[in-house]
Amino acid sequence: MNQIRVYSTGQSYRTESETKLVPGQEILVEAEQILEPAIVLCENCPKREAESLAPANFIRVMTPADQAVKTKLKEKARQFVNDAQTKVMRHGLDMKIVDATLSFDEKKATFYFAAEGRVDFRALVADMVGSFCKIIRLQQIGPREETRLMGGIGRCGQELCCHRFIKDLDGISAQMAQLQETGGQKFSKNIGCCGRLMCCMSYENHEQKDIKALSKEKK
């Protein structure tokens, strides 16, 4: 039993396959009657944990041709963003469409939006269904996710880690920043482009804990 995560929604499913799957592998699955690219999170997951997830049918491991289709679909989905934002303005909603994706079978379009609070977008969805002729899913994202989608350059001069390679944005805590504070550093130095704590706070967290523990032992 394998645990997977569908890219478009971030939702986890369980799937079974005669083909051996390994974590990090990209596959195609049918989830809720939609063909979706997904990533394998773990193999031989504990039965109790796996059974708590909805099932998805394994189709195949993604081939180079599938990857090319995935790239083209991403480009096609982005062409919908401006039209979607025009509809948002027409409906007078306080939200910003940041990005969009298409399912592999093009039946579903997922739009990612940023907003300060909750938004009643039911009329907007009906409008989008009529225009795009697809199943429409709107997914609200936070500052970290928005920055990951938009990309940029960090204060280190490198491309943002969240945009380049980080898959999981959870687990960055104030305790990590406090642990790594030194001398007269200001807390603001630990804030990234998204306005949240920098993801790289987690890179040396275990080592910093060990250093602090050794320092206490020596005292």
Q: Is residue 150 part of a domain?
A: no
Q: Is residue 153 part of a domain?
A: no
Helix residue ranges, H only, 133-204:
143-150, 161-164, 174-180
Q: Is residue 149 part of a domain?
A: no
Percent of the chain with pLDDT over 90: 49
pLDDT of 183 reads 41
pTM over 0.95: no
Q: Are residues 76 and 27 in the same domain?
A: no
Q: Are residues 17 and 51 in the same domain?
A: yes
Instruction: Name the token pair of 174.
Output: 């104030």
Strands 2-6, 34-42: pairing kind: antiparallel
Q: Is residue 44 part of a domain?
A: yes
| Structural domain span for residue 183 | 161-218
Q: What is the pLDDT of residues 107-121, one digit of tens each?
A: 999 999 999 889 999
